[in-house]
Amino acid sequence: MVDDLLLISPLLIVTVMGLVSLLVGVFAPAGSFKGWLAFLTSFGFLAALGACYMLWHETSAGAAFSSQSFHYSLTLDHFGLALCGVILLGALLATLTAVHYLPAQKSDHAEYYALIAFSALGMMIMVMAADLLTLFVALEVMSISIYILAGFKRDSSFSTESAMKYFILGSFASAILLLGISFTYGATGTISMREIGLAVAGGDAHSELALFGMVMLIVAFGFKIAAAPFHMWTPDVYEGAPASVTGFMAVGVKAAGFGALARLLLTCFGAPEYRDGSAVSWETLIVILAVISMCAGNLMALAQKNLKRMLAYSAIAHTGYLLMALLVVPASSDGEQALNALGGGLVFYLLAYTLANVAAFGVAAAVGARGVEDAGEEAYAGLAGRDPMLAFALTIAMLSLLGIPLTAGFMGKLTLFGELLSSGGGEYLWLVVVAVVNSVVSAYYYLRVVMVAYMQDESAEKPIALLKSAPLRVAVGVAAILTLVFGIMPNKAINASTRAGYSLVHTSNPATYGARVSAAKPAITSTVEPKDVAHR
């Protein structure tokens, strides 16, 4: 039991930090500066990051919990840990951008930091979830925290509107997710991902029902990761929410959504070994979503003058690129190699995306803090003259999102496209061509931000004061530096993400995972009902 608690220590640390900041906030005098809580919460994220690092080295692929309830609900593998790391890094940096931003927005409440911690908790559990019930509850913990955070500036109708919009559409997506879970349960008679996988692969499941459920699940996740055509909420919510929240939302929700989606699709609907035969195929749907997301996101981003709105459309485009990473599996004939490639592409790309977005939204927070709600062009025009460091970080973020060499974004795109080509053997060549053309198109709007920041003069009639905040500058600076570091020396990070993908060989393959666990632990196999297992 104690071992189990050690295995979930990252989750426990984040929970405790959330509760502590909530309690401390109650006793802090009203109206006092709450920014120091950000350091407390960041310390928690850092500790959880350390715990993830420790577990990464301790755990062989697919460590099993000794207590039954954990074993059924969570999967601990390198894939989950790596994504937890990405989420925690994003949360850590995004929290630091809020320290002075919130007081400037007149919404400096202690609950902010508790909500950030709880939504990070939900995200981490999402990528580790082993059954659909845990997945759903974790998704709701994450979503509801984010809805509240989006409306955190409660005296601004702009922010409240974005929260309301996100809440209503998000609840609708949750309903569709539940419908998908119900249909999957109807087809297979279980909500454990591993047993669904076994039933689907073994032909016990009613394949049409399972297919219907899977489509619903993909639609619901498509909403969460902002894939077109389920992206309508994205621009309004990204624009209306406070910039520090948007930064966290952009990176965390995407990493958690992709982690959970990848695990769900691979475990339930066809581990590579099961591709032939009865496995329900999802690649066509993913291809369609990827193409629409890339094209729609990029085309609509072209017209955006507002930094936050532009980044929202760019987030949709990046969802398109990221979806391509999932296609490595159906494209390849070699299952293990495919999962290596998936990890290398997906996890590293998410890391690069997280760093670039944290930097970009950090700058948006700095320029948009003093009463300016939308970060239009006039907000960051001539930024280079006012603050060279922020302008430089913004440039690196934009170049990384665009995918210019020497940045992490370039290595991410290179790995992702390269893996898809090499494992698919040219099957998806056309898709890579579409993606590259889209990347070229995206140069227009990314480089325009850089141009406005460097070439244009500050608007004379209403100069906008920058937010003076050391923690924000540290967060933006660290994100920019890490973007460069992972762009120049990506080997270690790519190796780690490949290893994360490799761990899915054990944990996403229902047959081998079940076998491994039952060899190490008392018999828990697919045929034994949970309550038959003896008490421990």
Give how far Cα 469 sits from Cα of 101, 104, 363, 479, Å. 8, 10, 11, 16
Contact 482, 356 (CB under 8 A): no
- Name which of 152 and 502 has its Cβ closer to another protein: 152
CA distance 325 to 323: 5
* Alpha carbon distances (Å) from 107 to 56, 144, 156, 366: 38, 19, 10, 16
141 binds another protein (CB under 8 A): yes
Site for another protein contains 236 (CB under 8 A) = no
Residue 288: phi and psi, rounded to 5, are: -60, -50
Of 48-107, which residues contact another protein (CB under 8 A)?
68-70, 72-74
DSSP-assigned letter for residue 532: G
Position among 3, 58, 208, 334 found at the interface with another protein (CB under 8 A): 208
Shortest distance (Å) from residue 288 CB to another protein: 17
**Span interacting with another protein, options 115-123, 352-360, 380-388, 488-496, rule CB under 8 A:** 115-123
For the chain, how are helix, strand and coil distributed in percent, rounded to 5? 75, 0, 25
Q: Verify binding: residue 151, another protein, rule CB under 8 A.
A: yes
CB atoms within 10 A of CB 512: 15
- Which positions from 448 through 467 interact with another protein, judged by CB under 8 A? none
Radius of gyration for the alpha carbons in the chain, expressed in angstroms and rounded: 22
Binding segment for another protein (CB under 8 A), chosen from 187-195, 307-315, 329-337, 440-448, is: 187-195
Distance between CA atoms of residues 279 and 510, nearest Å: 12
274 DSSP assignment: G
Single out the residue of 156, 206, 336, 515 in contact with another protein (rule: CB under 8 A): 206
209 contacts another protein (rule: CB under 8 A) = yes
| Residue among 33, 154, 168, 232 that touches another protein (CB under 8 A) | 154
Is 475 near another protein (CB under 8 A)? Answer: no
Considering the rule CB under 8 A, would residue 492 count as an interface residue with another protein? no
Contact segment (CB under 8 A) with another protein among 56-64, 126-134, 394-402, 407-415 equals: 126-134
Of 138, 10, 120, 3, whose CA–CA distance to 63 is shortest?
Answer: 3
- Of the listed pieces 183-191, 228-236, 437-445, 481-489, which binds another protein according to CB under 8 A? 183-191
Tell whether residue 161 is a contact of another protein (CB under 8 A): no
- Residue 38 CB, shortest distance to another protein, in Å, is 16
Q: How far apart are the first and last CA of the chain?
A: 10
Question: 284: helix, coil or strand?
Answer: helix
Task: For residue 278, give both structure tokens.
Answer: 């009865």
Q: What angle do CA 43, 45, 46 make, to 5 degrees?
A: 60
Kindly state the tokens that stand for 187.
């087809």
Among the residue ranges 147-155, 263-271, 402-410, 501-509, the one whose residues contact another protein (CB under 8 A)? 147-155
Site for another protein contains 522 (CB under 8 A): no
Question: Of the candidates 114, 220, 290, 394, which one interacts with another protein according to CB under 8 A?
Answer: 114
Query: From CA 243, how far away is CA 370, in angstroms rounded?
Result: 12
If you count DSSP H runs as helices and E runs as strands, how many of each does the chain have, helices first? 25, 0
CB 311 within 8 A of CB 357: yes
Q: Helix (H, G, I), strand (E, B), or coil: what is residue 74?
A: strand
Residue 134 touches another protein, criterion: CB under 8 A: yes
Residue among 133 and 299 whose Cβ is closer to another protein: 133
Binding to another protein by residue 118, rule CB under 8 A?
yes
Please say whether the beta carbons of 44 and 116 come within 8 A.
Answer: no
Stretch of 43-51, 207-215, 243-251, 303-311 lying at the interface with another protein (CB under 8 A): 207-215
Residue 148 interacts with another protein (CB under 8 A): yes or no = yes
Among 15, 174, 306, 357, binds another protein (CB under 8 A): 15
Q: Is 32 helix (H, G, I), strand (E, B) or coil?
A: coil
Candidate residues 98, 123, 138, 310; the one interacting with another protein per rule CB under 8 A: 138
Give min distance, CB of 342 to another protein, in A. Answer: 26
Name which position in 121, 200, 250, 384 contacts another protein (CB under 8 A).
121
**Residue 169 in contact with another protein, rule: CB under 8 A:** no
Residue 113 or 321: the one with the smaller Cβ distance to another protein is: 113
What gap in Å lies between CA 195 and CA 509, rounded to an integer? 10
List residues near another protein by CB under 8 A: 15, 22, 68-70, 72-74, 109, 111, 114-115, 118, 121-122, 125, 131, 133-134, 137-138, 140-141, 144-145, 147-148, 151-152, 154, 163, 183, 186-189, 204-206, 208-209, 212, 529-531
